[in-house]
Amino acid sequence: MQNQDVKFKIKLKDRAYQYSIKMINFLDALPKDMSSQVIAKQLLRSSTSIGANIIEAQAGSSKKDFTNFFSHSLKSANESLYWLGLLKDAKKIDGSKIGYLLSEVKELANILGSSILTLKGKK
């Protein structure tokens, strides 16, 4: 069980890291108009915060620390969903270019949410 737990944590951390890299590349290709750039800055912060908080969780000193950092990571994932949705619905970028990012952040949010419920003993 512990070995499986370690593999899960490594996979989640790597997945969040890869998501951040893809997001950085996506943001660099956004239009340079003011609204796109303001949203891009918000999205850069929230999307890269997902992985940063996962790493902080793994360095946490207690189960409560771990759960709190996962909760922050989930909040960042939900915020990223919001900003991506704005870009898509405002037609600042072709919807096909945003599909993977939306899908991946939804999956990360689901994994984090499920993990938080398990940690709190509600699942």
Say which range, 23-27, 95-99, 114-118, has the weakest mean pLDDT: 95-99
Contact assessment for residue 119 and residue 63, using Cβ atoms and an 8 Å cutoff: yes
Amino acid at residue number 49: S
Indicate the pTM of the whole model: 0.91
When pLDDT is averaged across residues 87-104 and rounded to a whole number, the result is: 92
Is the model's pLDDT at 72 over the cut of 60?
A: yes
pLDDT, position 1: 56
pLDDT by residue (tens digit) across 79-89?
999 999 999 99
Domain that includes residue 71, residue range: 2-119
CA distance 123 to 121: 6
The domain total for the chain is 1
CATH of the domain at 114: 1.20.1440.60
